[in-house]
Amino acid sequence: MHSIAFSPDGKYLVAGWDDDSAQMWNVQTGEVIHTFVHKDSISPNSISFSADGKYVLLGEGLEATLWDSHTGKMLRAYPRTHHELYSGLQAMFVPNSQYILTSSREGATLWTISGLKLHEFYENAEAEQWASVSSDGKHLLIPAGFWELWDLETLQKLQSFESVSYTGFSPDGKFVLTNGGPGLVLYSIETGKPAQTFVKGFSDDTWIFSPNGKYLATADYSAGNLILLVWEVQSGQILSSFSFHDSYGFIDFLPDNENYIVVYREAKADKPDQYSLHVWSIKEHKEMLMLDIEGYMGLEAFSPDGKYWVTGSGDEILELWDIQDWRIIRRFC
């Protein structure tokens, strides 16, 4: 399993399988609605819905494919425009536009939905992160030796970030967070200058914004200890700090913006696949919930309405959780 995505209305779920296909389910009934597969299919690296839910976009190995979500028919293919095959292809709808961006480790291409190629961007094939687009659809971050910030309306490069390993946009699309040699630094896109510095000096922390952009959670794993910090973005102050031993799988904020979860693997010789799910409260400064989970958890996503959480495992099974009482209510396979 390589990717999962909910439809904008939360009624449907699409997942890409290792058999080079993708399936769409009805979330409420568990019924398979469509199976997306064609002669050149490769296991999807990315899955995304258009904002109106009418289309599904799959990023595969040699091309991206556009599908009608109602009929299940393939409408169009966007071929890979760079010949080196260092990695698969990812694809995304550019918000608030009629554009699609396809991206690999060698470059990215901006297309119209109708299939007209508008521009090619070249990337560093050794970069550890893919290109990304801001939530307002106005800007692109791409690793081209240095990380570069582009204006997608004018197709002009605005800024380069040196000695930076990872970057990302704030949820409102107005800021860029960089992580690397200079530290964990938030830049204003409007001014091009630092707006906040969370960590000075080298930083390789994992991080994620809360959905409303008010908080930033960072995870620093070193010497067998995991340090979790929650920052208030505007002030740059640490609000909460948690720590424990062992490795972790991922961190994510719950849709309520005030709590976040961490899933990590416990070191138990008799249960090597034992994972634990932890929910921490930012306001209460404490752990609110802990659940033991059997099996590997590699993918996860929240439904747009915040009612459900879906997790993907290595055995090609999706589990749908009701996050009101944290129980599994359906499995898709």
Closest Cα to residue 184, out of 216, 141, 137, 221? 216
Mean pLDDT taken over the chain: 85
State the pLDDT at residue 165.
81
User: Which residue ranges make up each domain of the chain?
Assistant: 86-204
0.75 cut: is pTM over it?
A: yes
Please tell me the least confidently modeled range out of 117-121, 253-257, 296-300. Answer: 296-300
**Percentage of the residues of the chain whose pLDDT score is greater than 70:** 84
Where does the pLDDT of residue 197 fall: very low under 50, low under 70, confident under 90, or very high at 90 and above? very high
**CA–CA separation, 195 vs 155, rounded Å?**
25
**CA–CA separation, 267 vs 278, rounded Å?**
16
Looking at per-residue pLDDT, the higher value among 18 and 282 belongs to 282
Cβ burial of 165 (10 Å; 0-12, 13-18, 19+) is: middle
291 pLDDT more than 70 = yes
State the pLDDT at residue 34.
94
Give 46-99 pLDDT, tens digit per residue.
899 999 999 999 987 778 999 999 999 999 999 877 655 555 788 999 999 999
**CA–CA separation, 205 vs 217, rounded Å?**
10
In the predicted model, what is the mean pLDDT of residues 170-188? Answer: 92
Number of Cα atoms under 13 Å in the Cβ half of residue 121: 31
203 pLDDT more than 60 = yes
- Is-contact 256 269, C-beta < 8 A? no
The DSSP-derived string for 34-102 is: EEE--TT----SEEEE-TTSSEEEEE-SSEEEEEETTT--EEEEEE------SS--EEEEPTTSSEEEE
The token duo for 110 is: 């901006």
Q: Could you say which of 2.130.10.10, 3.40.50.300, 3.40.50.1000, 3.20.80.10 is the CATH number of the domain covering 86-204?
A: 2.130.10.10
Cβ burial of 52 (10 Å; 0-12, 13-18, 19+) is: exposed
Amino acid at 52: D
- Is-contact 120 81, C-beta < 8 A? yes
